[in-house]
Amino acid sequence: MLYWVDSVGALIVGLMVGKAGWEFSWDALHDLMDRAVSAEEHHKIEEIIRSTHGVKGFHDLRTRKMGDMILVDVHIKVDANSTVQLGHDIALAARNQIMKDLPVLNVMTHIDPV
């Protein structure tokens, strides 16, 4: 009588399994490719850099995901009359705060005098 119900049920279950497999594969593929962080994480990194004492500005902020971790590359502007030590300390303070607040593996900073 209702011999086709079994086939429809199998089709539905097959589609559900296929969808789950596709989503899992897509997420795994994204973990293998370089990609930028979310807009929210990018904004948070910008705010941390901006709020670091001694930072006059920044540019060329680049981020990329590496698995579950983040890599950051940024040029930080500091006072041109500062010592090399002070410029280094400002960059280190920004780096440490970013690494404290987010799952960041490394922050590469370049100091620009302004």
Predicted model pTM: 0.74
Average pLDDT over the chain, rounded to an integer:
92
d(CA 10, CA 45): 48
CB burial readout 36-72, b (16+ within 10 A) else e: ebeeebbeebeebbeebebbeebeeeebebeeeebbb
Q: Report the C-alpha dihedral over residues 98, 39, 69, 27, rounded to 10 degrees.
A: 170
- Residue 79 predicted with pLDDT over 90: yes
- Residue 86 predicted with pLDDT over 80: yes
Tens of pLDDT along 60-76?
999 998 878 999 999 99
Give the fold, CATH level 3, of 39-113. Alpha-Beta Plaits (3.30.70)
Q: Beta-carbon neighbour count of residue 75 at 10 Å?
A: 15
